[in-house]
Structures are given as C-alpha cells and as structure tokens.
Amino acid sequence: MPANEYLPFLTEIKEVIKHTDIEYTFRLTYEGAVKPGQFFEVSIPKYGEAPISVSGIGVGTVDLTIRRVGKVTNEIFEHYAGDKLFMRGPYGNGFDIANYQGKELVVIAGGTGLSPVKGVVDYFARYKEETKGMTLIAGFKTPKDILFIEEFSCWKQAMEVILTVDCADNDTECQIGLVTQYVPQLKLNKIKEAVAIVVGPPMMMKFTTQELLKRGFLEENIWISQERKMCCGIGKCGHCKIDDIYICLDGPVFNYVKGCQLLD
C-alpha cells in the first residue's frame, strides 16, 4: 500500500538558530529527498498546521525558518532543541537546480523570501563552477531584520552579493535602498540567456520582475515562488487554487510565463 502523504510524522528539533526576535530557524531531523523551495506542513495538535518552506538541507536534517505571526507559529516557538514536532511533506515542486546550471544567475530576495531560495544560493555557493556567474540581491526592512547574517560572508566568497536595507542609520555596512534599484546595475554578459529567481512579498516580486524585463531578461528565464493560504497542501481542498492553478501542487515555484498571472 502506498504511504499516506497526508499523515504527519514526528521530527526532533536538533537546533534552534535565532535570527531576529520573531524569526528562528528550526533544524529538524528528516531523512528523505527534499528540494529547496518545497515546503512542509508543521503541526501542533490542538493548534493547527502551518506551511513552512525548506531553508536548508543537511545530512539527516532540514531547516525551517519560521516567523512568529500567530496561533501555530507562536506555539512552535515554545519548542526547543530535543523537543518533537509533527510535520508532513515535503510538498510542492521546489526549485529545479538544472534550470540555472551553466547560466548567469541572479537571485533577488525580499525579507523572509530569502528562506525558500536559500537552498539554491547555498548550492551554487558550494558549486560555483556550475554557473557562469551569480549575483544575490537581498533586501530587508532594517539591519535588525536581516536573516542568515553569518551566511552572507560565505556567499560573498562565491558570488556578487548586494545586501540592502530600506532604511538604516548611517553607520550600517549594508547598502540602502530597495532591491529594484540594483537591477539596472547588474553586470551581465548575455542578458537574453541569463536566468533570475525572485522571491519576496507580492509587491516586491511584481516590481522586481518588471525591472528584470526592462533590463532585457526573457520571461521564460525568470522564476518566482508564491505563498498563498493553504490547508491540505496536496491539491485536495482547493484553498490555494487560482483559476486552474493549485499553488500547493503546481507551485509554489513558477516560471514567470505562467506565474505572471499570479502576481497581483
């Protein structure tokens, strides 16, 4: 009999990494195939479930970077290393590394949008010879909102990194400004062949993809990742459905050619 993909299983918290007051990474035991951009449904009995993207893949572990916003996520934050959580998944299509290999790659992330795409950044930081050059533009509201600050120094060894904040004191080491303003400055050899991934809040994705198209990127060379309210996560309940698209099943990662109609 096939395994029931709707059934939660127990996972143990190996480590909790604090980024900001309301954003922690939970490193959880997990054996099995998983891709960056896929998500798990994390559940707490009597509280509910929350879909959370994979932000890191280790040997026997996955990282889930969670923002504390409400009922379920508040309760997850009451758990510590050694505690157990229920989860089910991984669900969704995730990012396909093969789409970006051998190309000039630009990743543009806004806020917690860095989380689902971090696995792609980690991969090409490790295997930098697999791209023809990579640029990461990551934007946050203020310096205190920056996620994965330790990883940035490692990423800088392997790629061009622009870390920017919307506003800050003068003594910040970050750039100041929205991610969109760095698109015209991108140094690319063959723009029609370059590929880009854009993940972040809906408005950020909308304006950033517009900037990329203005720069000459082809629609089919841009990917986005969408977050929508979800329930089952496996294409059964229709909560995430827009027209004929199930975000949980057909996405959350979409090529812009299809995904542009989801950018409201």
Selected binder of ligand FAD within 71, 141, 156, 236 (CB under 6 A): 71
Least distance to ligand FAD, CB of residue 233, Å: 8
Bond before 116 cis per omega within 30 degrees: no
- Using a 10 angstrom Cβ sphere, with 0-12 exposed, 13-18 middle and 19 or more buried, the burial of residue 1 is exposed
With CB under 5 to 8 Å by kind, the binding choice for 102 among ligand FES, ligand FAD, none is none
- Apex 111 CA angle, 105 and 116, nearest 5: 55
The single residue among 50, 134, 179, 253 that binds ligand FAD, judged by CB under 6 A, is 50
Would you count residue 35 as binding ligand FAD (CB under 6 A)?
no
Among 53, 131, 209, 221, contact with ligand FAD (rule: CB under 6 A): 53
Pairing assessment for the beta strands 222-225 and 195-199 based on DSSP bridges: parallel
Token couple for 115: 């989380």
Our CB check for ligand FES shows the closer of 72 and 195 to be 72
Instruction: Decide: residue 4, CB within 10 A, 0-12 exposed, 13-18 middle, 19+ buried.
Output: exposed
Q: Does 159 contact ligand FAD by CB under 6 A?
A: no
Hunting for tokens 């600050």 — which residue is that? 149
E strand residue ranges, 59-178: 61-67, 84-91, 105-110, 134-140, 160-165, 175-176
| 48 near ligand FAD, rule: CB under 6 A | yes
Name which of ligand FAD, ligand FES, none residue 231 binds, using a CB cut-off of 5 to 8 Å depending on partner kind. ligand FES
The partner in contact with residue 180, picked from ligand FES, ligand FAD, none with C-beta cut-offs of 5 to 8 angstroms by kind, is none
- The contact set with ligand FAD (CB under 6 A) reads 39, 48, 50-53, 65-67, 69-73, 112, 115, 227-230, 252
